[in-house]
Amino acid sequence: MSPADLVARARQVGLDGIAITDHNSVAGIREAEAAAGDLIVIPGIEISTRSGHVIAYGVREPILRDLSVRETVERITALGGVAVAAHPYRFWSGLGEPALLEARFSAYETCNARTLRRGNERARARAAERSVGQTGGSDSHFLDEAGRAVTVLEAGRLRPDDVVQWIGAGKTRAQGTDRGADATVRYVSKAVGEWLLRGMRRI
């Protein structure tokens, strides 16, 4: 989907803001910002580490893929961003337990709309045990998925930098839906099809 279409969809479903976190790319941020008007746009990127995916909020520069989790988080921090463990217990692209302990995350994504309930529940439990912040995200790859899970801030009007600071301080919460049966068929078909087209390489 185009960033401008995503902005329009965010307005349609009543979101106050969106985060642009394309896989290993920051190319869509400017287009989203140009279309945003008063909608908050959080710059970011979803980085493929050797162990799984890490989200960098507040980052406008690409970060090399296939680094260790620790080095990835260090680079995010050096750029002034906030590191979040994306869908940490999702099969295939989640970091998993050992990798979560490699670095200090500001938050775990504990409600990801493209993750099964058990994965989200496990992420919530671990975040609570470790006093780590929590975020939610639709992880939308299609327009109709936008807004199915969100990060909630109990505050008035904020700037993008303020939102990133709140995430970094662990002052946000997650809410939304888990991946159901219909979404699983769509997700698996897309993921496997694109994996085959990539020559069986991970995103």
Give 125-150 pLDDT, tens digit per residue: 999 999 999 999 999 999 999 999 99
Contact 147, 85 (CB under 8 A): no
Residue 90: exposure state from Cβ atoms within 10 A (0-12, 13-18, ≥19): buried
Q: What is the pLDDT of residue 130?
A: 95
pTM for this one? 0.91
Give 64-83 pLDDT, tens digit per residue: 999 999 999 999 999 999 99
- Cα 115 from Cα 89, distance rounded (Å): 8
Q: Which domains occur in the chain, in start order?
A: 3-197 (3.20.20.140)
The alpha helices in the chain, defined as continuous H runs, are 3-12, 29-36, 69-78, 97-100, 117-129, 160-168, 181-197
